[in-house]
Structures are given as C-alpha cells and as structure tokens.
Amino acid sequence: MAIRAKQNRYNPVADTETILEKIKSRRFAIGIIGMGYVGLPLALSALKSGFRVVGFDIDEKRVALLNRGESGIKHIPSTAIAAALGEGRFQATADLLRLSEPDALLIAVPTPLSKQREPDLTYVENSTRAIARTLRAGQLVVLESTTWPGTTAEVMKPILEASGFKAGQDFFLAFSPEREDPGNASFHTATIPKVVGADDEASLELACALYDALIVKTVPVSTAATAEAVKLTENIFRSVNIALVNELKVIFDRMGINVWEVIDAAKTKPFGFMPFYPGPGLGGHCIPIDPFYLTWKAREYEVATRFIELAGQINTDMPHYVVGRLAEALDQRAGRGLSVAKILVLGLSYKKNIDDTRESPSLKLIELIERRGARTDYHDPYAPEIPMTREHAALAGRKSVSLAPEVISSYDAVVISTDHDVIDWAMIAKHARLVIDTRNVCARNGLHGETIVRA
C-alpha cells in the first residue's frame, strides 16, 4: 500500500477531548464490520444508546435483509432494526469504501481454524486492509473477534500504519473481546461487562469511553494482548471443564452411575464447585476453536499446552462415544445392527433454543452414523436446512423432517443431540423405539423407561 503524502497526515496529536465530547453527545458514528451473531447485537446496543450505526457485511443478501428491517437470527428481534431504519440511524452496506464515514470501526468477523487446526485470520486481515484504504485521522479501530495474544499489535497495527498514520497519534487502536452467549435470557450484550485493552493511553481512554456508553461496565486492562488473553482464558476454562465432565460421564457410565445425578448433587455445595454438563461434543463459534489459537501461539515460545490439547481431544471424541453407545444399544435392545438401521437425530444447532449451527456436534454425529452404514434424518425447528460448511459440505441442503408419532416410530432410534424446549419430549419418549439421550432431557422431564439410554 502506498504511503500517504506527508501533508495528508493528521498533525498534531488527535484531540481526544473533542472525540470524548462527540461520544458523550452521541454525535459519534459507529461502524460495525460483520453483521452476524456478534456484530448485530452490538449494533442494537449502540442504537439503543442513541448512536448512529453503519453495519458492514460482504454478504449482500444479508445486507438486503437488514435494510428491510429483518434480523435473520432467531433470538435477535427485528423490531429495533426496523425502528432505527425508520429514524435514519441505521443502514447496512457491502460498500467498504464507506469505512471512512464512521468515527469508530468495530470488527466482529469470524476467526476460524484452518484444516490443519491453525488460526485463519483471513477475515481480520481483509477487514483491516479495507479500513487502511480509507483510514482517516481520529478514527478508532477496535477488534472484537477472538484471536491469539498479539494479533492487534502484530497483524493489524502494521497494516493500518502502512497508510502513513500512527496508532495512538493519528488514529486509535484497541481490542475488546465479544462475550456473546446466543439464547441466554439472563444476559445480553449491554449487560455483560466489557474487557478493553490497548497499547497506548489515548486509545484505551477512547475505547473505554465508547463502550461505557454502550455496556453496563468496562474492565480496562494494560495491553491489547492482555485483553486477547482474557477471552482465550474464558473459553479454555469452559473447554477444560466440559472435557472433565465428558470424561467423567464415560467413566461413571461404565460403573453404572448417572453423571447428571452426580453433578446435581455436587452443585449443592455452596463453595469450591461449579457445575458443567456433558454432551455429544462441543459446538459454537468459540469453545471448539479458540483454545487452539493459544496452543498455536504457544509453540512460538516453545511452551507445550498439553492440558488444553487433551481437553480438545476429549471433547472432539465425544461424537464417537455417542455413536458407540447408539450401536451398542441397537444391538442389545433392538437386535439390529447400526449398519442397517434408520436413525433420527434431534437438533442441529449447537445449543438449545437458537438457530446457530456453527461447529455443531450434530453434523459430526450424522456423518459418523452414516459412515457406519445407517440412514439418517434430522429434525430441528430452528434449522430447516443444513447450511454449507467447510467441514461437512456433503450434508449441505438436507432438510429437517417433521415430527409426528408415526414419523418417530418409523426410526430404529432417535438420538437427542440438542434439547430445544419447544420439542414435545413426552411424545418422543412414548413413540420412539429407542432414545439415545445425550442431554439428559428425558430425565429432566420425568421421562424414564427401558427404551431411554443415556449417552
């Protein structure tokens, strides 16, 4: 990228007091790059706080949907979007040349893993290059996407400074990790404290001031890398503890002990224990992916991350365990091999009551079951069709089957992968020939019987 002519540089140091006043008076425009499960709730919080928002997304169909006032995401209401459109305070666009318009640019794009389980920063790098092409003096740039410690300083900063501007002097750069939990009725974007880190005082001050206007509380930390490490720590904590209870599930099952009963009893202790629950594997945009961002970065420092990698291995193996239990139960209780069976997988999204199928263990379950020769269908009221994914491309386009007693009874087994509240579990238990319950939803609903098997 060509360096801007010296006379176009912002000189002298940006006036932070003027920017702070613009934030306070809501004359500060916010641009959010990535209008998905993270960016859209953030946009709604900014709109509710009185800011003008431009939503950027390279998916033109998604842009058109938003400009019609529709969120396209089950747990995110469309009403606030439609209202903001009517007031002229929100607009979605795929035109990245408009990145110079907002005063702040918040990046909320995917950070997936490559096939070699290494960080793929393509979306972050492309977004940063697009910003650099139109970067103007005084803009605040904040990365929210989860990544390895050092990304903001080592990847983003050089790209942005190639414009001729300097971070902390001509523009401001910070990291503030998203903390979204789709479908959580108790917490949403504005009520979850926000960690903010930057490598210079001005950037930290302005980023905190902006998020103070959007979020219930900001938690400033000393550097961007520290904030990046906070997010990874949160998700690794969950990954390791879920792996622990998944391993306990396998052990206790061999002993004839109900792991869910054990956890429910253990959590009555008022200190020293926090309940985590087993399942068919990990899903979502964070926990299956983020720990590997740290294991990759740790290799640069010649540090082994055995504990984190072991947890990842245990969680990755859980779909195989479920299929093993399915095959065993069919053999013992139905006298029918898995290779000639017809299986219904209940739930495609990675957690209950949402439509997010990213990294869902259900996709892996379907593939593993069919690899054994079985015929497989799925039902999910929130995911009518399997989307295209890099890891499970062969499943794309399959459609959810309807649920009815005669449909359920036509399958040799029903595998419960996602425990949506809207599903009639009593009907499932009554009409299914065999139920493989990976979520303990039957017992939670008081449903027991010889045909119900925990897995």
Return the structure tokens found at 136. 């103007």
Q: Taking Cα atoms as reference points, which of 318, 377, 382 lies closest to residue 349? A: 382
Which residues, including other chains, have CB under 8 Å from residue 86's CB and lie 6 or more apart? none
Is residue 135 packed enough to be buried (19+ CB in 10 Å), middle (13-18) or exposed (0-12)?
buried
CB of 402 within 8 A of CB of 424? no
Supply the residues annotated as catalytic: 286
The CA radius of gyration of the chain, in Å to the nearest whole number, is 24
Q: What residues have CB less than 8 Å from 340, skipping those under 6 apart? A: 373, 374
Tokens 């365990």 belong to 321
- Which residues sit opposite 92 in a β-bridge? 55
Half-sphere exposure of 330 (CA within 13 A, CB side): 22
β-pair partners for 140: 104, 172
Going by C-alpha positions, the residue among 134, 45, 29, 142 that lies closest to residue 88 is: 29
Is cis: bond before 270, omega within 30 of 0? no
The pairing of beta strand 194-198 with beta strand 172-175: antiparallel
- As a residue count, the chain comes to 455
59 backbone dihedrals φ, ψ, rounded to 5°:
-85, 105
Q: Is the peptide bond before 41 cis (omega within 30 degrees of 0)?
A: no
Q: What is the token pair recorded at 161?
A: 């400074």
In the numeric block, the tokens 């989860």 are attached to: 146
The one-character DSSP state at 338 is G
Is residue 146 a contact partner of residue 178, using CB atoms and an 8 Å limit? yes
